[in-house]
Structures are given as C-alpha cells and as structure tokens.
C-alpha cells in the first residue's frame, strides 16, 4: 500500500466518521421530531377530550332545560320556577358562572341566580353562526382583568313555540388550569382555536386573538381535523412544533405546541453520545492508520536499504565476473590474432598489414557491438555483417565493387560465435576483392543472412567475378576460413556456377547466463 492509498485510508476514515455523524444527526433529528409530534398529538387529544366533555355537559344541561320547560307549560321559560331550575343546573357543575335562556333577538328570557346581570353577549352573532351550520357557538367575553374573562357556550334550544339560545358562562380559570397542566413548560403552548380563526384561550392567559386566513394554523385546520405543523407563533414569535385535533366535529380545535428549541436541546442530548462515539472512532482510525503507515514505511525503508545493499554487492560481483569474462575474451581474441599471424608467416614468410588490419577491425566491430548491447552481451549478426561490409579496409570504395545485402533482423549470438563469424566474413570479402575481381575489375558481392531452423543461421557470400582459388592446403588463405568454421561447429559449402558462392551454416548456441551467488541482506 503506497502513501497515497494510506492518505486516502486515513482521511477516508475521518470522512466516514463525519458521514456517519451527519447521517446519525439527520436520523436522530427526524426521530426526535417524530417522538415529539406523537407526544404533542397525544396531549392535543387529551385536551380535545376535556373540551368535548365540557361542551357535552353544556349540551346535556341545555337539553334538560328544554325538557323541564316543556313540562311546565307554554309560558314556562319566563316563570320563576324555571329560573330556579336554571340555578340548580348552574350549581351542578364546577366553574359555572351562570346559565341563561336568550331569545333569538337578544332578549334575556330567563337566567340562573348568579348569571351576571351586566353581561351583554352578542346573541345576533351567535344566531348567525348557528344558522350558518355551526351546532353551537363558543366565545370569550373579556373583562378588565384577563383572568376574570368568561368562556361562553351557546346552543340552540326550543321550548314549545319558543326557539332561542341556551347560554352557559364558564370561569376561564378552570379551563386555563387544565391547559397549564398539559403544557407545563413556560414556552410550551396549549390553546383553544375556533374554526373561524379566533384564538380563544392560551396558556399565558392573554386576551383572544383573531388569526388571519394566511396563518399556518388556520390553513392547517381547513384541510384536516388533526395533524401537525411547524411554524413561528404570531403571538410570541417562538418557533414551535404544533399538533392539533378537532373537538368531536365541533367548530373548535385544540392545539399543543412544543418549542423547537426544546426539541433541539433534547436532540442534542440524544445525538451527542453518537457523535462522540463516531468522532472517537474516526480519530482512532485516523491515528491508527498513521501509525501503521509510519511502521510500514519504516519497514519498507529498512527492506529497501537491505535490498539496495544486496543489489550493490551483486553488482560488484557481476562487474568483477564481467571483467573476468572480458579479460578472457580479450585473451582468446589475442590468441586468435596470434594464430592468424603465425599461419600467414608460415604461408608467406611475411605479415600482410592490410589483412591484419581487416581482421583487427572485424574483432573491433564485434566488441563495439557488444559494448552497445549492455547486459545482453549478444550481437545482432545482421548489424555486424552490414558494418563489416561497409569497411573500406575490406571493400575499398575506389574498386567500384557493389555490395548487396539481404540480412534478416533479430539473429543474435554471443562473442564465441560473432568473432569467428566476423573473421570468416573478413577473409571471404578479402578473397573476393583480391581474386574474383582482378585488375581493378568492377562487380557485385551479395551478402545474405537468414535463419536456418530454430537454432541455426545461414551466411551467404557470393560474387559474380571470375572465381577464387579452390586449393585449401595449409598455405591457402581459405585454411583460415575452414579452421574458423570448425571452431564454430559450422558447415562451409562452396559453389562456382556463376562466380563463387560460399554458404556457411552455423548453430546459434544458447547465450551463457552469468549467475551470481545471493547474499541475505543483514
């Protein structure tokens, strides 16, 4: 694993931890909203049950008043006995400030003894709302002190030919105490909302507020009998998560609101352990990956130093062996040159400087190609033949002799094959120039090199001259070629159909592989 991969691993662990924290935050926040929404909806349902019981009680009392009035005769609603009955009805419930019967035109027909005499409810508005389809009307009558306000519940009644309204006045503080018990937190909201947007009662006991049609609460209650929404209250500018429930099909809704700040604080307390765990895990992974990286880097560095030391030792041994091999080759080449000189001395008694120069150049070409081959230590025989045939020492340019070459590429051999092959080519070219084209005669020499089977090659040297000597005794120059051919384990064939053609079939032995003892780096 390289440094970049470790870097990706280290910062990837942090990114993974951060991603986990983000996902945990989102999930826990949604779950916290769900929990508080369910809690708020549960409290709203409890408030709706309370208001349903309260309203149903007033309806039952109104129905009792109707039945009592029907049994007292046609004029009973105006009688004293009916007023006494209404007083008994008032005393049957806690928090009642009186009950009364009103005519549809707003006249007070009868009232209980404690019904406030100075109370002037807007009966016409109540009648209009009931005629518009509302089963009853709920209202709040304000006083100088909000805690002394009254909640009025008006329901239609009929006694004989009389049709009017049964009006029940309730102490607001009784209902407020219940709301305060539901919404215990100071910023928690509990309220009663009429279907037309009138906010009758809130936890903070301030006066009633008519909400506009564009407020979120009014928009929500027009779409569903129950649900939830999140908005900023128009009354105190606090953002809350609200839940609302309609009261038993009546034009009345109860709301419960939990401050978003409270939800957020609860969410933070829940999310913090997860953040700490994921953050600690990410930091631990980041630190651990860094330590592992440093440890691996140190081990790799030590291993690299050991390998470098071992490679240096192998290189030194290789150079020493190569030097030994080079010395051996030079020694063999010098011995070959010495043998050629001795052979020429025995044949002619003198040394032909031009022939000696050509042979030395042939050997020099081999070594030049070997030096250029690097560690391969093999010579491309096609390149060797091309360079030798271009040498002025072998084919003088002033002779007008053309050399045609057809050389297959990729045929390589070591110096043990390349040196005698170069010397053979040098001798054959020299003989062709001397004997095939006498008296400065022009002509063509053809050179060819092809593969001969899997592990062999064929060298062709042909000319269109008058021919070369066929005698191969010890004093003939072709003795050198025969001796070198035997050294290569090659077969030499000569043809004289049109000019002279030599075919040298020689093997391509596997190159020697230099091996070096390995030492453990310590």
What total of structural domains would you count in the chain? 2
Residue 181 lies in a domain: yes
Residue 27 lies in a domain: yes
SS3 279: helix
Residue 334 lies in a domain: no
Say if residue 261 is in the same domain as residue 356: no
CB atoms within 10 A of CB 330: 12
Say if residue 456 is in the same domain as residue 360: yes
The string over 91-121, giving b where at least 16 C-beta atoms fall within 10 Å of a residue's C-beta and e elsewhere, is eeeeebbbbbbbebeeebbbbbeebeeebeb
Say if residue 260 is in the same domain as residue 377: no
Q: Look at residues 201, 236, 265 and tell me which one is the last residue of a structural domain.
A: 265
Short-list 81, 59, 62, CA closest to 72? 81
Say if residue 356 is in the same domain as residue 238: no
CA distance 119 to 157: 20
Burial class (CB in 10 A: 0-12, 13-18, 19+), 350: exposed
- DSSP per-residue string spanning 114-133: TS-TT----HHHHHHHHHTT
DSSP letter (8 states) at residue 64: H
pLDDT at 468: 61
CB atoms within 10 A of CB 394: 24
Say if residue 247 is in the same domain as residue 379: no
pLDDT at 90: 66
SS3 296: helix
CA angle 504, 510, 513 (to 5 degrees): 140
Which CATH number do you get for residue 248?
3.30.450.20
Q: Look at residues 222, 247, 265 and tell me which one is the last residue of a structural domain.
A: 265
Residue 512 lies in a domain: no
Token reading at 218: 């009014």
Say if residue 256 is in the same domain as residue 362: no
pLDDT at 259: 95
Say if residue 95 is in the same domain as residue 218: yes
Say if residue 357 is in the same domain as residue 229: no
CA distance 5 to 331: 55
Domain of residue 389 covers 352-507
Residue 328 lies in a domain: no
pTM of the model: 0.56
Residue 461 lies in a domain: yes
SS3 72: coil
Residue 300 lies in a domain: no
Q: Are 75 and 266 in contact (CB under 8 A)?
A: no
Local confidence pLDDT in tens for the 522 residues of the chain: 666 776 787 778 888 889 998 999 999 999 999 999 999 999 999 999 999 998 888 888 777 777 776 655 544 555 566 677 777 776 767 778 888 888 899 998 888 888 888 888 999 999 999 999 999 999 999 888 888 899 999 999 876 677 889 898 999 999 999 999 999 888 999 999 999 999 999 988 888 999 999 999 999 999 999 999 999 998 889 999 999 999 988 999 999 999 999 999 999 998 899 889 888 888 888 888 778 778 887 888 889 899 988 888 887 776 666 556 555 556 666 666 666 666 656 666 666 666 666 667 667 766 666 665 555 578 889 988 998 888 887 888 888 889 999 999 889 988 888 888 888 988 898 888 888 888 888 899 999 999 998 889 999 999 998 876 654 443 456 778 888 899 889 999 998 877 899 999 999 987 544 444 444 433
Q: Are 235 and 202 in contact (CB under 8 A)?
A: yes
pLDDT at 267: 92
Q: Look at residues 218, 238, 265 and tell me which one is the last residue of a structural domain.
A: 265
Which CATH number do you get for residue 443?
3.30.565.10
Residue 339 lies in a domain: no
Say if residue 64 is in the same domain as residue 178: yes
Say if residue 113 is in the same domain as residue 226: yes
> CA-CA-CA-CA torsion for 377, 383, 388, 390, nearest 10 degrees?
-150
Q: What are phi and psi of 275, to 5 degrees?
A: -60, -45
């Amino acid at each position: 694993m390289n440094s970049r991969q470790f870097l990706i691993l280290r910062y990837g662990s942090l990114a993974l931890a951060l991603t986990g924290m983000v996902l945990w935050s989102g999930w826990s926040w949604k779950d916290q909203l769900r929990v508080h929404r369910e809690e708020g909806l549960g409290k709203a349902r409890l408030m709706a049950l309370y208001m349903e019981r309260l309203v149903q009680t007033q309806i039952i009392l109104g129905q009792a008043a109707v039945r009592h009035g029907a049994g007292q005769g046609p004029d009973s609603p105006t009688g004293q006995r009916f007023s006494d009955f209404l007083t008994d009805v008032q005393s049957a419930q806690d928090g009642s400030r009186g009950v009364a019967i009103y005519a549809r035109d707003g006249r007070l027909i009868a009232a209980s003894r404690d019904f406030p005499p100075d109370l002037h409810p807007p009966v016409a508005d109540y009648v209009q709302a009931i005629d518009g389809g509302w089963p009853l009307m709920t209202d709040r009558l304000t006083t100088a002190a909000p805690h002394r306000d009254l909640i009025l519940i008006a329901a239609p009644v009929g006694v004989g030919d009389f049709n009017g309204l049964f009006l029940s006045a309730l102490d607001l503080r009784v209902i407020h105490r219940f709301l305060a018990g539901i919404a215990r937190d100071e910023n928690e909201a509990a309220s009663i909302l009429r279907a037309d947007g009138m906010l009758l009662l809130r936890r903070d006991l301030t006066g009633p507020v008519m909400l506009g049609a564009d407020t979120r609460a009014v928009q929500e209650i027009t779409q569903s009998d129950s649900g939830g929404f999140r908005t900023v209250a128009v009354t105190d500018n606090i953002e809350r998560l609200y839940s609302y429930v309609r009261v038993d099909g009546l034009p009345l809704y109860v709301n419960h609101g939990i401050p978003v700040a409270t939800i957020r604080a609860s969410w933070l307390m829940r999310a913090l352990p997860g953040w700490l765990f994921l953050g600690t895990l990410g930091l631990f992974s980041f630190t651990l990956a860094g330590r592992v990286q440093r440890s691996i880097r140190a081990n790799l560095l030590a291993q690299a130093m050991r390998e470098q030391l071992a490679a240096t030792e192998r290189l030194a041994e290789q150079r020493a062996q190569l030097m030994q091999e080079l010395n051996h080759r030079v020694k063999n080449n010098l011995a070959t040159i010495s043998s050629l000189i001795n052979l020429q001395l025995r044949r002619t008694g003198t040394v032909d400087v031009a022939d000696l120069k050509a042979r030395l150049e042939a050997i020099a070409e081999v070594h030049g190609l070997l030096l250029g081959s690097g560690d391969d230590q093999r010579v491309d025989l096609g390149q060797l033949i091309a360079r030798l045939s271009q040498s002025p020492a072998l084919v003088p340019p002033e002779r007008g002799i053309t050399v045609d070459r057809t050389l297959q590429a990729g045929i390589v051999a070591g110096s043990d094959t390349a040196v005698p092959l170069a010397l053979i080519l040098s001798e054959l070219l020299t003989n062709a120039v001397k004997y095939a084209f006498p008296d400065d005669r022009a002509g063509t020499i053809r050179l060819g090199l092809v593969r001969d089977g899997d592990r062999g090659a064929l060298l062709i040297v042909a000319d269109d001259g008058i021919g070369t000597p066929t005698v191969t005794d010890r004093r003939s120059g072709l003795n050198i070629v025969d001796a070198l051919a035997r050294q290569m384990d090659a077969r030499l064939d000569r043809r004289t159909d049109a000019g002279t053609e030599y075919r040298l079939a020689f093997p391509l032995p596997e190159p020697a592989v230099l091996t070096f003892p390995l030492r453990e780096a310590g």
